[in-house]
Amino acid sequence: MPELPEVETIKNQLKEKIIGKKLDGRRIIDVRRRAKLLIIDFKDGSSLIFHLKLTGQLIFNGKETKFTRKIFNFGDGTKLFFNDARKFGWFKFVKSFKDDFGPEALQIRRRDFRSRLRKRSNSKIKPVLMDQKFIAGIGNIYSGEILFAAGVRPMRLVKSLKEQEIKKIFQNIKKILKAAIKHKGSSVEYYLDSHGKKGDYTKYHKVYQKQICQKCGTKINRIKLAGRSSHYCPRCQS
């Protein structure tokens, strides 16, 4: 947290606010997202990269708080506040940006998705969806919600998935991520958009941190997968 929908929301908002401004004498020409990273590109070819990790925030023209780690001052007097309660997040300036992430979750094609899954046949499906080298942008919250929508338990081995289940997972990746972006992300704990407002997709969660399934009323099971808590409905998911 934040995942693709939250970073995409911040990216969309900052594109409207800071493109064309100068930061440390360098003109900003673009704001983009790659996986869970927010990237500010400058005219000279350099970039400023942010990874918000668990509790990072980027607030445009906000107010300094006890969690503010850095204030970026633009040439026109506006500011960008980088807040981070647990201090896991980071930012850095780079001369050029390269990565080894997998294809973007909103852009991957079904054929590529299936081909990549075949190479992970002995892996459990939820950790695979969270692996940024497999597919970029999905984390713990949305992988759980995607698998619930597809009716698949998070600990299923990839090789056990039927073709129809793979199709449902693929379809729900894009469906759920797009819906979450529309609702400005999920404010589970610290996440705020760049205006300092909470995202309201949290109210649409079906299993994440739920006690009771929002669909059938069954008690939600909570297990550990790849060091993370995973939630699923034993009745709706098989």
Catalytic annotation, pick one of 21, 27, 120, 228? 228
228 is catalytic: yes
8 is catalytic: no
Cα–Cα distance for residue pair 80/72, rounded to 1 Å: 5
Q: How far is CA 2 from the centre of its chain?
A: 5
Contact 181, 2 (CB under 8 A): no
Cα–Cα distance for residue pair 59/88, rounded to 1 Å: 17
Count of alpha carbons within 13 Å of 208, Cβ hemisphere only?
21
Catalytic annotation, pick one of 3, 6, 8, 145? 3
**CB neighbours (10 Å) of residue 32?**
16
111 is catalytic: no
Catalytic annotation, pick one of 11, 36, 116, 126? 36
Of 158, 126, 142, nearest in space to 226 by CA? 126
2 preceded by a cis bond (ω within 30 of 0)? yes
Q: Which residue has the tokens 């981070």?
A: 84
165 is catalytic: no
Catalytic annotation, pick one of 2, 5, 127, 154? 2
Cα–Cα distance for residue pair 119/116, rounded to 1 Å: 5
Q: Cα-atom radius of gyration of the chain, to the nearest Å?
A: 19
> Active-site residues: which are they?
2-3, 36, 228
